[in-house]
Amino acid sequence: MIPDISPLPDFGPVDTGGVLHDLGHGLFTLSCLTESVLKTESLPSGMRIRLTLISEEAARLLDLVRQASAAGDAPKPVNVRTLLEAAAQVAAQATGAAVTVRPGAAVWVVTDELALWRMITNLVDNGVRAAGPVGEVELTAEPGPPVVITVADNGPGFGQGARGWAGRGLRVVSEQAGAGGARVRIERR
């Protein structure tokens, strides 16, 4: 016997604020669970590194949800090289790709740290995808002025590598850069 199932009422457009609230709760739970596992003394070194990266990424995502729910963070001094090193470590652990940061002195910029993180990670993700499984991605930061961040890969060229998620990454980069007064330039090596 087939039950009589009435269609659900149309609740209207999705409540973005509610979705952000729910995402925040889920990310907070993920963060707490990860931190509890990290307190285990007998955790193997490699696992501890990966869990630390997960914990840091969950914290950044939680900050992103908080920022989207509020007015945003005020610009502050940010060490670009520290963000590049974190992005390289996350990408290398997550994908196995060879992602390196060219050595150099700290490079500081006054900006919204989370917006800069979003730009860097989207560009690094694109570089890793373009370089492929045996490719290389190199990250550099130059003090300027203006500060210049370079994400270079040895892939086949822009638009020639594996496709991402509907081109959203570069759109995010472009929007964040425009909002912060930065410029994005894509060029062949």
Each of the 189 residues of the chain gets a pLDDT tens digit; together they read: 555 554 544 545 545 666 676 777 677 778 778 888 888 889 899 899 988 888 888 888 888 887 777 755 578 899 999 999 999 998 888 888 899 999 999 999 998 888 888 889 889 988 888 888 888 999 999 998 899 999 999 887 666 655 655 567 777 788 878 777 788 877 776
- How far is 155 from 128, CA to CA, in rounded Å? 8
User: Can you give the pLDDT at residue 138?
Assistant: 95
- Residue whose token pair is 């919204």: 112
Query: Do the Cβ atoms of 104 and 63 come closer than 8 Å?
Result: no
Question: CB neighbours of 125 closer than 8 A, spacing ≥ 6?
Answer: 91, 164, 169
Kindly report the backbone phi and psi dihedral angles of residue 79, in degrees, each rounded to the nearest multiple of 5, phi listed first: -85, 105
- How far is 87 from 100, CA to CA, in rounded Å? 10
User: Can you give the pLDDT at residue 37?
Assistant: 86
- Least Cα distance to 180 among 60, 57, 56, 80 occurs for 80
